[in-house]
Structure 1
Amino acid sequence: MANFLTRAWALRWIKRLFLFVLIAFVCIAGVRLYDAQRKPPLSLWHTYVPEDMHAHEIDHATWEEYIANENRLFDAVKKNVTDKLPADERVPANRYFSGSPIYPGHFRTDWNRSYTLMPQGSPRGVAVLLHGLTDSPYSLRHIAQRYQQDGFAVVGVRLPGHGTVPSGLTEVTAEDWEAATRLAVREARRLVPAPAPLHIVGYSNGGALALQYSLEVLDDPSLPKADRLILLSPMIGITAFARFVGLAALPAILPAFAKAAWLDIVPEFNPFKYNSFPVNGARQSWRVTRKIQQEVADAARNGKLAALPPTLTFQSVLDSTVSTSAIISSLYSQLPANGSELVLIDINRTAQWSPLLRASMRDALHRLSPVPPLRYRLTVLTNASATSPQVVEESTAPNETTAKVEPTGLDYPPDVYSLSHVALPFPVTDSLYGRTPDPNDDVGIQLGAQSVRGETGALIVGTGFLTRLLWNPFYGYIVERIDYLASHGP
């Protein structure tokens, strides 16, 4: 009798738990559907999906075949999007309108496409450049040109799903990006064979792919090994919410709720980066970060990390896109003494900003910085004092506890309180994102030079976009470090 009552009681609570979970799921789904339906209507660039190459094709393709398919993609986008735009979307702020000043097809160089650069004379090395999520090869073009000046050949690959229309990210997989990375490295080594140095530069999600490729090399010696990794704002860790973000797109299996497949539906006024963001993009990026963290841990446990290339990483202390702490805990704390370095860029600590910064932001550097001695070099760019805009380099060598302080000759601009995730690869003169854009390289819009004031609700873009720093006041420091690596062997 007692056992019967116990089973009945347990069954009753299981039913209650099931009902609770079901009600919670229905409520969450209802909120998600309501939120999705409030978004703007989908346009052609959200619904037309170009036929990009996938991993199994890319792994068997040559660079020339990849470029040929890429050319077909852009032709298809013109035919199925640009040429079919309804009248109300043929506006200057639409990158897909051929009459717009921001239409990339009219630029001297369309940096949405893959490219190779060759130096004058025989190359003394080769660099592979990997851009970020929703981005395009444009984002690393300045660093590419710097490598070219340093005598390196450069391969800049457009990762699958990018550079065309945001809907390209709705069907892409992390495996497609990884295959494109392998293809770019194969092409780099075809252009400049070993033993000439090979550098891989990755920005944001591209930084994760650069690291993932180098981890793959540890188990597959047939893959060309990089001599250096240079990572900018690498996506080693992102919010745990991204693990479940794919569930948010489930209602999109019903045509009436197609907008649920999108986290953001925003006007496409940037000629070299998507503003709209599909759920699948976040999901695939999360998969890359989880794979990296697991592979780093496995390689450390098996004693393989000693073969990882020396890694130089530049990271803003404040970053709302990737986890700065994950870069330290999931990567650098695992590395052996192999000549790696982490450069953290602190907030602007001048007195005028202190009253406006949250306490947690003011303490971010102290909270994040590992305590030496460390197996890698830790460098911090920070104000010389709380009242000085001058920036110094505080560098602690491996196995040391005291930092060496050197002036950089740089100042923190008085109206900038921190760097941002998106700022690192762009100089102040960048045509699109710079504060003082190069007048000889017009791309139809100057997003970084805007400092607007007015009433709310008048612009097609939110105020958060206009306040986020898009250019890097310390870009010169980054390229000087890259120049040094390019000039001093592997």
Structure 2
Amino acid sequence: MALPEDENRVHPGADENDDEPAHAQGLTHLIRRSIGGLGTFARRLLLGVLLLAVALVGIRAYLSTQGPPLRPWQTLVPGEADADAIANMGWADYVKAEAAMFDDVHRRLRAKLEPADRTPLNRYHDESLASPLRFERDWNRSFVLEPEGEPRGVAVMLHGLTDSPYSMRSLAQLYAAHGYVALVPRLPGHGTVPAGLTREGRKEWNAVVDLAMREAQRRAGPDRPIHLVGYSNGAALALLHQLRRIERDQPSDVERIVLLSPMIEVNRFARYAGLAGVPAFFTRYAKSAWLDLLPEYNPFKYNSFPVRAARESYLVTADLQRALEAVSRQQRMDRLPPVLAFQSVVDDTVSARAVMQRLFDALPDNGSELELFDVNRSRVLAPMLRPAATQWTNEILQRPRDYTLTVLGVASQDDASVLARSRAAHAGAIAAQPIGLAYPAEVYSLSHVALPFADDDPLYGLHPKGTGGLRLGAVAVRGERNGLLVSQDALSRLGSNPFHAYMLSRIAGTIEPDDR
């Protein structure tokens, strides 16, 4: 790949003083002086770090040349509106543009598929079991659920990273059943092909959140309440929307915030994920722009994961932390509406402890509640749990806080019935109440991806409802390790929430406070 000439670039092999721009000569001189001013040990350490960085980039480049080539869904980038264009759209405009984009992607992708791509588990083969076209509707697209009769309120629901509006389906049905209009936008880059996330990012996501909130305000009018619901990355976007309004000295535009597996803090690797894609600057190493290149067998979620998506998710959390700090400095946290959040104690995607320490401990005394799903501490499973990941919840109920904290776990090592152990805000004692469910014997914890889906979800449920069709949540494959393209961890990760009915009842209590 030929690089464009740039008058400001020092070309390899050129004499460092020949025709070098004055500012470049000054920078070179400054670097030399800086390194020269370091001690011998510091110079060696700096040189070692630079050599290590070069070696890692070289290894990354080499590894990207291994394996099969990129497939069409990893190279075909959909044409979506940018943030500025979205800012000038209404809901109907966005849905219309989305439909045209889906049709274009479908047409172009069909033309690129090869015979080897036409498998029973390729979501981009229309006749496959994984095709979204096999469902009653394509849940990858933005949708609205209308209640029967006159609407009582509006709920805006934001899905997670690499996800789709399908993950908000059961919550949308809950709100619609309680008389709310459920608006579920598809965030740009999602729902089509993984390559979409090599271009779209947080600017476009924030623009769609604003668009959906404008539509919610239009439908709600001056008197009806609005709830903002977010899952994972969508939860971070929901909070960020509210905090930025408060930071600008605007009133909150929602009555309640509901969060599932909120992305308050991600794995620290995401901060430097962009470095992994450096070799992709050269066409030969294009695959280094991807952290995962996997078969796409999931109708409503990407398996392949681009470097840029990891970087953008980190930047969303960085924006969120900056906004939290800014609003705290302004002493305006009391303007944030009450937050109800659900989080698994064990979460490989986000930091569960950060949800409590960095978000809830910073909230005002406004009726917020945090519900933690504990691990299965039965006599059989407890000895196999990693203490570093699971023991942090042992003492958290011992002191009162400005919010209600609930931990759901087994009654005892010999009793699998689940108790909700709660300490209300400022309460002097812990209350324990059975929820009428037992911890499944074969499940040792919930997962980041499990919370939005019911145990009987036809696609992701551990015990899916109905017969036939694709049942990803109940997959049970056996064989030797390292024999599959997809990791065994990914196949065994819990895809549904055995306490989903309890979670819905808690959310319903915020919609109908008298029913709590």
Give your verdict on TM over 0.5.
yes
Q: Verify: 1:420 aligned to 2:479, yes or no.
A: no
Cα-to-partner distance string for 1:67-100 (whole Å, 9 max, x where unaligned): 1111111111112112320111111111001121
2-structure distance, mates of 1:298, 1:124: 34
Aligned runs of 1:14-25 on 2, under 5 Å?
Answer: 16-25=44-53
Cα-to-partner distance string for 1:26-85 (whole Å, 9 max, x where unaligned): 211122113322343210001010011221111110111111111111111112112320
Equivalent pair of 1:154/1:188 in contact (CA under 8 Å): no
Q: Verify: 1:473 aligned to 2:498, yes or no.
A: yes
Aligned runs of 1:207-222 on 2, under 5 Å?
Answer: 207-220=235-248
2-structure distance, mates of 1:10, 1:165: 49
Match of 2:96 among 62, 68, 75: 68
Shift of 1:192: 2.2
Q: Classify 1:333/1:362 alpha carbon distance in 2 versus 1 (closer, same or farther; 3 Å).
A: closer
Shift of 1:186: 1.1
Q: Verify: 1:316 aligned to 2:341, yes or no.
A: no
Equivalent pair of 1:349/1:387 in contact (CA under 8 Å): no
Q: Verify: 1:130 aligned to 2:130, yes or no.
A: no
Residue matched to 2:422? 395
Residue matched to 1:485? 510
Name the larger-Rg structure: 2
Counterpart amino acid of 2:362?
Answer: Q
Classify the secondary structure of the residue corresponding to 2:265: coil
Q: Verify: 1:248 aligned to 2:248, yes or no.
A: no
Cα-to-partner distance string for 1:295-337 (whole Å, 9 max, x where unaligned): 1122112111100010000001000000011111211111110
Equivalent pair of 1:346/1:418 in contact (CA under 8 Å): yes
Counterpart amino acid of 1:450?
Answer: V
Equivalent pair of 2:164/2:300 in contact (CA under 8 Å): yes
Residue matched to 1:4? none
Bigger mean CA offset, 8-17 vs 461-470: 8-17
Classify the secondary structure of the residue corresponding to 1:244: helix
Q: Verify: 1:156 aligned to 2:184, yes or no.
A: yes
Counterpart amino acid of 2:489?
Answer: G
Q: Classify 1:439/1:8 alpha carbon distance in 2 versus 1 (closer, same or farther; 3 Å).
A: closer
Aligned runs of 1:76-475 on 2, under 5 Å?
Answer: 76-220=104-248, 225-366=253-394, 369=396, 371-439=398-466, 444-475=469-500
Aligned residues: 482
Shift of 1:17: 4.7
Classify the secondary structure of the residue corresponding to 1:342: strand
Residue matched to 1:3? none
2-structure distance, mates of 1:324, 1:9: 44
Instruction: Give the gaps of 5 or more residues in structure 1.
Output: 1-6
Q: Classify 1:8/1:29 alpha carbon distance in 2 versus 1 (closer, same or farther; 3 Å).
A: closer
Q: TM-score, normalised by structure 1?
A: 0.94
Q: Classify 1:124/1:9 alpha carbon distance in 2 versus 1 (closer, same or farther; 3 Å).
A: closer
2-structure distance, mates of 1:303, 1:289: 21
Shift of 1:400: 1.8
Equivalent pair of 1:348/1:412 in contact (CA under 8 Å): yes
Percentage identity across paired residues of the two chains: 45
1-structure distance, mates of 2:134, 2:498: 30
Q: Classify 1:223/1:32 alpha carbon distance in 2 versus 1 (closer, same or farther; 3 Å).
A: farther
Shift of 1:447: 0.7
Task: Report the aligned-residue RMSD.
Answer: 2.1
Q: TM-score, normalised by structure 2?
A: 0.89
Equivalent pair of 2:247/2:323 in contact (CA under 8 Å): no
Shift of 1:153: 0.5
Equivalent pair of 1:40/1:265 in contact (CA under 8 Å): no
Instruction: Give the gaps of 5 or more residues in structure 2.
Output: 1-34
Cα-to-partner distance string for 1:201-259 (whole Å, 9 max, x where unaligned): 10000010111111122134667611000000000001222111111111101000000
1-structure distance, mates of 2:255, 2:434: 29
Counterpart amino acid of 2:503?
Answer: I
Equivalent pair of 1:52/1:73 in contact (CA under 8 Å): yes
2-structure distance, mates of 1:130, 1:467: 26
Shift of 1:283: 0.5
Cα-to-partner distance string for 1:337-373 (whole Å, 9 max, x where unaligned): 0110111111011111022222324413226x36522
Residue matched to 1:46? 74
Residue matched to 2:7? none
Residue matched to 2:17? none
Equivalent pair of 2:227/2:258 in contact (CA under 8 Å): yes
Bigger mean CA offset, 265-274 vs 444-453: 444-453
Equivalent pair of 1:39/1:259 in contact (CA under 8 Å): no
Equivalent pair of 1:73/1:164 in contact (CA under 8 Å): no
Q: Classify 1:11/1:300 alpha carbon distance in 2 versus 1 (closer, same or farther; 3 Å).
A: closer
Shift of 1:457: 4.7
Counterpart amino acid of 2:333?
Answer: L
1-structure distance, mates of 2:249, 2:139: 33
Classify the secondary structure of the residue corresponding to 2:264: coil
Q: Verify: 1:26 aligned to 2:51, yes or no.
A: no
Classify the secondary structure of the residue corresponding to 2:472: coil
Cα-to-partner distance string for 1:175-210 (whole Å, 9 max, x where unaligned): 111111111111122222232111111000001011
